[in-house]
Structure 1
Amino acid sequence: MYLASLGKLALGSRLKALSDHFYGAADAVYQARGARIESRWLPVMRYLWDVGPGSVTEVANAIGQTHSAVSQLTDKLVRAGMVKRRRDPADGRRTVLVLTDKAHGAMAELGPIWCAVRKGVTSSLGEHAAQLLAAIEACERALQERPIVDAILAEHTALLARPVEIVPYAPEWREHFYRLNAQWLERYFRIEDIDRAVLNDPERYILQPGGEIFFARLGDEIIGTCALLQESPGVFELTKMSVDETFRGLGAGKRLLDAAIAEFHRRGGTTLFLESNSILKPALRMYEQAGFRLQPNIRPGSHYERADVYMIYEPRRS
């Protein structure tokens, strides 16, 4: 399932899909058994049935929905003849919601269906039903203690306050070297045999021949990588440059490129080249701005099927 692969980023979407599934299941049961309510009516109607008349604000607070949502649902219930608005006898300035006789009759018929719902949920979900309810309750408590919007904005502020660091290769980050490069290769092209070999064993194919691998790190997140591959003494290839798409715009690509060029100069390299593809226009602009010059033909003996761009670094003379 695609949304599952997004983890916490798709939490709301997955919960909505699950909620819609349960609402749909409840409606199917109600319709099959001739019940006179809809599943989305239940929170408001059950509250008024259990507690008695209440204002929109009271109902909204009790069932954990917004005032606007409850107000809109109330309009539907009024049109359906299930709820009416009336002045509070104890306070004429206050409007409360009251179930109609029709609603009381409809609710009174639902006992056997609700019993079947409880048993059916247990039968379908098994122990996951109790675990899900416990997890929901724990989440509700946590959200009351610290609203999630505040938490996310605080984390975003802290994240942007941290500079993007460029760090050298470490074995524990090998998986990120593969992940980041596979991400863009699979999106735009495919992982070729040469890519698969290098990404699965960067120590053998890049580090041992005298190359270097850099990572861009933001806090505890590895967000980008690139490699400097030594093809022969003094000749280096800039390769395997990739930045996680969700972190673009922070300058990580430029920082990685600058680090690779600086390392090339530090080693006294004579030639630095790269191979790319003409569809990757933002990357090509960045390479040009850094001093790479487009060559008229593709590189002789290129290892990459996708390569239709060949660029050589020509540092500006001061």
Structure 2
Amino acid sequence: MEFYNKVGKMALGSRLRRLSEKLSEQAGEVYSLYHIDMNPKWFPVFYALAEGEPKSIMQIASEIGHSHPSVSTIAKEMVKYGIAKEVKSNTDGRKNYLTLTDKGLQINQQIQVQYADVNAAVENALAETQYNIWKAIEEWEFLLEQKSLLNRVKHERKQREQSHVQIIDYTPQHQQAFRQLNEEWITTWFKMEESDYKALDHPDEYIIDKGGHIFIALYNEEPVGACALIKMDNNMYELAKMAVSPKAKGMGIGFSLGQACIEKAKELGAEKLYLESNTILKPAISLYHKLGFKKITGIPSPYERCNIQMEREL
């Protein structure tokens, strides 16, 4: 127990496995006590067949909540041991069903008294505990169905990483990072165009001096993302040159940059935000929808790669 006390709740799966192994070992002793010649791990499949109705592997797997391969393996073992047998479907000769043999039916008669005693023993054990493990397992099964452990860990990792992310105002010392981040992104999917070189090589002249703004995202003080607001006519700004380093994907940096640009655009008196993109960039389009942008048409684009235009009212 010292190991589990030291490792803590990270070892939840290992500890449950240890408990499961102990229960399975002791269940084997219970079967011996009642002279029931059966492997404890067969019990869920055996019980599903005990009513006498032939069932397919898929039916059994769905009923007991096990995987198809797991039930298939157990079924083969039960057939080999003579407890179960395969029968053809009455309606479809291509399908095999599983049912108990005479030996299996005899075991089912003998095991009823064991069921009663085991159930009483478990109930008494639960009454001796401060926490009802049966109800706790039900809760955990429900929680993991709603949100898997993997997704819960991803969420915690994202929260931890985001705490190290800063969105700061662009300064001339960030010019190289601004260019590299955007060039890396553009050349991954498309090709650099004349308008790209102008804005990335001279951001002060083409963006900031014309009333625009640039944000830089830092992760542990390293530039990993960028996004610009470019002044257009009629109190409109373009959200452009958004780029996030591949090594910083999944941290929510694009969303944070987008939110920063929206708030800055409001501060600058903008009434609308406009952007251009390409529909092959599905994560980016999804991000823009999340930020409140909607598809529009009609504004000429200087970029060959643009095939979708979007706008957000402020």
Normalising by the residue count of structure 2, what TM-score does the alignment of the two structures yield?
0.48
Normalising by the residue count of structure 1, what TM-score does the alignment of the two structures yield?
0.47
